[in-house]
Amino acid sequence: MIVNGYTRTCGLIGNPVEHTMSPAIHNTLAEAMGENLVYLPFHVPRGQVGEAVRGAYALNLLGLNVTVPYKSEVIPFLKETDPLAETIGAVNTLVRTKEGFKGYNTDMPGLYRAMCEDGVGIEGEKILILGAGGVARAVAILAARYGACRIILLNRTPEKARKVADEVNAIAGGEPAEGMALENYQSLPAGERYLAIQATNVGMFPKTDGAVIEDAAFYHKIHTGYDLIFNPAETKFMRLTRENGGRAFGGLKMLLYQGIIAYELWTDHQVSRELAEKAYIEMRKAMHIQ
Ligand code: NAP
């Protein structure tokens, strides 16, 4: 691409950002769509996210993605927050407006698009969410919103799982969600089969040899395992799910679609399915996946 005086800049703020796949997504989309736009990673030192947002606005950036640890910390520095992002309590995309940046959450709709494409439904499902961090909370809200009949959060720190379940119940109305200690998976009723969404960091690169639960008896209760980790593309959780008769999916498509939704917000242009596939191939190449 040719960078000139009209080139618009988008990027990622976080810490660390060095292993990001987002430039592969956005620069592929921009090039294919003939958009004069570049996407760059910006490593922001702890405590300086406010300066980063103000600086980015002053430098006329079109938009930013936000990653750990700033997804909640960034909110006070925005002019406006989209209602979905406000409900989730986390922003991963900033869009330039006349007065300042507006914050959105594209992780949750990105996961929803990925699940639809993978043929994984939520309505009427009994869902286990492993973890109770920022993304697990968004997944629990997604599950409630799309009609899961039961949502069980299993977490190493059970108080956090219960807190998230209470918040989800307050948002959804009724009591679809429940929080439990991770080790209590053994108390799940025999004969029930679940969609399990893996939202912990366990099994993530570089410590790829673990899964948050390793007991085969747990995987017998799962008909589908969806790991939100995207590096490695095939996690131990996915392997254990398959070995015990379930379908398994990884987090790479969620990553792709959260990026595509952000790109559509920045440029106001729809990304076609063919182009989404091209960006997916570029991401896989960047990760050295065949
Ligand atoms: P987070 O807020 O830091 O939450 C981490 C969760 O993992 C917590 O529930 C934590 O339990 C649990 N955990 C960490 N180490 C553990 C261990 N050794 N044993 C048991 N549980 C452990 O992180 P997050 O932002 O929600 O991200 C969660 C996952 O989502 C990450 O793997 C990330 O890569 C993935 N993600 C994927 C995408 C995508 O596009 N595919 C986007 C965003 C995030 P405690 O509460 O007990 O500490």
Q: Using a 6 Å cutoff on CB, does residue 228 contact ligand 1?
A: yes
Rounded Cα–Cα distance for residues 255 and 280 (Å): 9
Instruction: Report if pTM > 0.85.
Output: yes
- The residue written with tokens 């000139």 in the block is 4
Element holding 90 (H helix, E strand): none
Ligand 1 atom index nearest CA of 230: 41
Planar angle of CA 99, 266, 197, nearest 5 degrees: 115
Q: Using a 6 Å cutoff on CB, does residue 79 contact ligand 1?
A: no
Q: Using a 6 Å cutoff on CB, does residue 134 contact ligand 1?
A: yes
Helices 273-286 and 252-267 cross at an angle (nearest 10°) of: 120
Q: Report which protein residue has its CA nearest ligand 1's atom 31.
A: 201
- pLDDT per residue, tens digit, the chain (290 aa), is 799 999 999 999 999 999 899 999 999 999 999 999 999 999 999 999 999 999 999 999 999 999 999 999 999 999 999 999 999 999 999 999 999 999 999 999 999 999 999 999 999 999 999 999 999 999 999 999 999 999 999 999 999 999 999 999 999 999 999 999 999 999 998 889 999 999 999 999 999 999 999 999 999 999 999 999 999 999 999 999 999 999 999 999 999 999 999 999 999 999 999 999 999 998 999 888 86
